[in-house]
Amino acid sequence: PRVFNFSAGPATLPEPVLQQARDELLDWNGMGASIIEISHRGPEFMRVAAQAEADLRELISIPDDYAVLFLAGGATTAQALIALNFADPGQAVDYVLSGHWSKTALKQVRPYVDPRIAATSEESGFRDVPPPSSWTLSPDAAYVHYTANETIHGVEFHDVPDVDGAALIGDFSSSIASAPLDVSRFGVLYAGAQKNLGPVGVSVLIIRRDLLERSGQPRAEILDYRAHVRGESMLNTPPTWNWYLAGLVFRWMLDEGGVEEFARRNARKAALLYQAIDGSGGFYRNEVAFGARSRMNVPFFLHDDVLNAAFLSESKAAGLLALKGHRVLGGMRASIYNAMPEAGVQALVDFMGDFARRHG
Ligand code: PLP
């Protein structure tokens, strides 16, 4: 039997997607071969690839003047390539720091550009996001980068920041497609697939086409987003299995009612879990400022660390997997992405109440 898996990523996938992939694994569409055994340039895979892109465009309403890429390399590679593609050598770029992943993004570009910290919430231990009204933007910056949802610290920007015409680049690795989003507010949006979009091994980039006209920095063709757009993400052999699976996830999300429906479910799941934490009389606590609490990743602490081991072993025995917090923060973390059913969060909340009664 499958358990409820609260892993931060690679994360749980929708069961119907896994079943369909299993059913199709040996013989895709009557070909007598698996989807991962055929050429990426053949008409069969090209159809799968094109359908995945069309479904993603429909799912998150991507305007036509944005290119969509499905690439290997993960979000971290995108973090580095952004500087190579969209900023000139030594040009200023603005970074907003709201947690571990925005610091990673900053680290990736240091060899290429002059990153400036437009705002940071580090002094609060990243328990809040720096409000966009406090950001100090450089007039000469090539772009402004921020992390929409911090997977480890559990803080999230709930609105798209207003950056007054600057090219806004958002890391949406852990919150893409979790709620409606106005893509036209962005220069670039990127996400590793392994939380809300599918399996690890493919990342999605959504790039406003005019940015592709920027010269950027000297770089090999394989690091050049213009070349990837021209080559329709097939400059070299793409991660076909991951792309196909992501396509199944997009279809599943559309069939379930699209991002509006997932926004409602995600709001209910997050409210249920935060209420259980806040209403536990101090047995559990979440330290994030109320308005910045993530709907996707909920870090929480037990009132006494001595209970951590028992919480983890008993929750696992109860069919609740991967609740151990990230080593940077300790404690616990429940990741409740789109594919986590409401019943999973209910089971977690029931377990937490029971655990608190027995150990309180
Ligand atoms: N950005 C965010 C918000 C993440 O959560 C992660 C991974 O968890 C990354 C970037 C790095 O992604 P990848 O491991 O695909 O490079």
The DSSP line for 127-138 is SSPPPGGG----
Task: Please give the Cα distance from 277 to 285 (Å, whole number).
Answer: 6
Q: Residue 349: pLDDT above 90?
A: yes
Pocket test for ligand 1, best of 7, 101, 188 (most atoms within 8 A of CB): 101
151 lines ligand 1 (CB under 6 A): yes
- Burial bucket for residue 328 (CB in 10 Å: 0-12, 13-18, 19+): exposed
Q: What is the DSSP letter of 86?
A: H
Looking at ligand 1, which residue's alpha carbon is closest to its atom 4?
Answer: 173
Residue 168 to residues 52, 92, 95, 176: CA-CA distances in angstroms? 25, 14, 10, 15
Q: How sure is the predictor about 14, in pLDDT bands with cuts at 50, 70 and 90?
A: very high
| Residue 42 · residue 55 · CB < 8 Å | no
204: helix, strand or coil: strand
Task: Please give the Cα distance from 22 to 299 (Å, whole number).
Answer: 33
Q: How sure is the predictor about 62, in pLDDT bands with cuts at 50, 70 and 90?
A: very high
Looking at ligand 1, which residue's alpha carbon is closest to its atom 15?
Answer: 74
192 lines ligand 1 (CB under 6 A): yes
pLDDT in tens, 103-158: 999 999 999 999 999 999 999 999 999 999 999 999 999 999 999 999 999 999 99
Indicate if 88 belongs to the active site: no
Q: Which two tokens stand for residue 99?
A: 């947690």
The domains of the chain, with CATH numbers, are 16-256 (3.40.640.10), 258-359 (3.90.1150.10)
173 lines ligand 1 (CB under 6 A): yes
Task: Please give the Cα distance from 113 to 63 (Å, whole number).
Answer: 29
